[in-house]
């Protein structure tokens, strides 16, 4: 896949009205700036529903207008998808949203199998992958990359600069509990104020402990341009609830769920 196609995919995957491409760096990667100079928030909040495992949850996310859908290929996750099931769901979503293959410290074979299965618009790296590993994956596969970074205190923000030349997008999540078998999806929030005045030269998503009840506050406090949710729209680990998905997306975009229901019944 060409660098220009990468640019187009990333640009198309983000709200269009306020973002324009800045002159690419020497690496050919993206930077986004708003025409008014404020990098904190595009006009429309972007929403990613991660860990989709079944068609009814996917259909709810698509119907509610999710911007990104994530499929988890980490065997330690309750949201893990076999490649054949992921392929079926990705085909159902193709052309209706952006798809993301979530991987944790994958080898090249795992990346190749995920790409073959879902033909994702983005690869999300949710482990301790080094900047050098991101560079190697970009060189071999050419897919836009989302790098997940775990935050707990201000010192963790220093890692952003290390990955910024290589990541097309960031996802900021809470640190997992001690001894956890997976890096994300625990329903734990971090202090959103850490990001309020942090300059990030890439689009980014806020994750960790988000629900329909707190996402509006999280957006207000952090200034995030987008959000990512998994456990916050589930009834049990790995079991997405369509109504919770719809309520979350509506809350993230400032539309009360009861107004959505009224509009659909009119």
Structure tokens at 211: 């629900």
CB 172 within 8 A of CB 207: yes
3-state helix, strand, coil in the chain (%, to 5): 35, 20, 45
Q: How far is CA 204 from CA 67, 127, 172, in A?
A: 13, 17, 7
Architecture of domain 48-265: Alpha-Beta Barrel (3.20)
Give pLDDT tens digits for 181-229.
445 455 678 999 999 999 999 999 999 999 999 999 999 999 999 999 9
Could you tell me where the DSSP H helices lie in the chain?
3-12, 55-64, 83-93, 108-118, 131-141, 159-163, 215-222, 242-252, 257-265
Q: Domain ranges in the chain?
A: 48-265
Give pLDDT tens digits for 24-46.
333 333 333 332 333 344 458 99
Residue from 180, 266, 171, 165 nearest 210 by CA = 171
CB atoms within 10 A of CB 187: 16
Which neighbouring-strand residues pair with 97?
A: 94
């Amino acid at each position: 896949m060409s660098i220009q196609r990468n640019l187009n995919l990333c640009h198309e995957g983000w709200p269009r009205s306020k973002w324009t491409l800045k002159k690419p760096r020497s690496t050919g990667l993206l930077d986004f700036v708003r025409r008014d100079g404020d990098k904190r928030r595009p006009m429309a909040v972007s929403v990613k529903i991660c860990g989709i495992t079944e068609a009814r949850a996917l259909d709810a996310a698509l119907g509610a207008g999710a911007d990104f859908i994530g499929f988890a290929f980490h065997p330690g996750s309750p949201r893990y998808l076999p490649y054949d099931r992921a392929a079926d769901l990705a085909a159902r979503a193709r052309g209706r949203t952006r798809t993301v293959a979530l991987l944790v410290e994958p080898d090249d074979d795992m990346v190749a199998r995920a790409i073959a299965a879902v033909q994702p618009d983005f690869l999300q790296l949710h482990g301790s992958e080094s900047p050098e590993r991101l560079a190697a994956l970009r060189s071999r596969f050419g897919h836009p990359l989302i790098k997940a970074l775990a935050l707990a205190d201000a010192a963790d923000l220093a890692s952003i600069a290390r990955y910024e030349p290589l990541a097309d997008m960031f996802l900021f999540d809470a640190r997992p509990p001690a001894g956890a078998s997976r890096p994300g999806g625990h329903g734990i929030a971090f202090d959103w104020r850490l990001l309020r005045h942090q300059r990030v030269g890439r689009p980014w998503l806020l994750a960790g402990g988000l629900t329909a009840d707190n996402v509006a506050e999280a957006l207000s406090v952090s200034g995030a341009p987008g959000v990512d949710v998994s456990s916050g729209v589930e009834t049990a680990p790995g079991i997405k609830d369509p109504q919770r998905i719809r309520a979350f997306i509506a809350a993230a975009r400032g539309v009360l769920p009861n107004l959505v229901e009224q509009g659909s019944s009119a």
